[in-house]
Amino acid sequence: MGRKTVKMYERIAKHGNDLLTIFPDATIQDPVLLCKRLRMYERKAEVSTTALCNGCSESLQSYHEAALNRIESKVKKLLGITEDNQIFINRDPRGYALKMTEEFTANKVSYRDWGGYGILAPDLTENN
């Protein structure tokens, strides 16, 4: 593995460990695998938030809204969340979709948006 790849995995592991501290009941306890699963859900949510923002037929709108609801349910299950006020899906496609509420994160994660919300699945590749 190259130096850039090693650094990327260090960032991923740190973020995953931060998440496991916040969500100790997560169903995946490996920090790297947890981050990879959350990135998969993030990318799926981005597809739906972009489609909804760009305008789509009523049937596709219903499909994408249902998809976002399913993603949110799966992320909550993955993280072992039982309360509703911990995470949400940001429907604005200009930023990350999977976020933690500002009150809940309270400086527990390194990756936050400008509004103070914690980012569950940031892009941690070497270019970011």
Residue 93 lies in a domain: yes
Residue 43 lies in a domain: yes
Q: How do residues 24-76 score in pLDDT, each as one tens digit?
A: 999 999 999 999 999 999 999 999 999 888 887 888 888 989 999 999 999 99
The domain of 100 spans 3-119
Residue 106 lies in a domain: yes
Q: What is the pTM of this model?
A: 0.88
Residue 82 lies in a domain: yes
- Cα-based distances in Å from 101 to 14, 64, 91, 122, 126: 20, 23, 14, 15, 27
Q: How do residues 69-114 score in pLDDT, each as one tens digit?
A: 999 999 999 999 887 778 899 988 888 999 988 776 666 777 878 8
Residue 124 lies in a domain: no
Residue 111 lies in a domain: yes
Domains in the chain, number: 1
Residue 126 lies in a domain: no
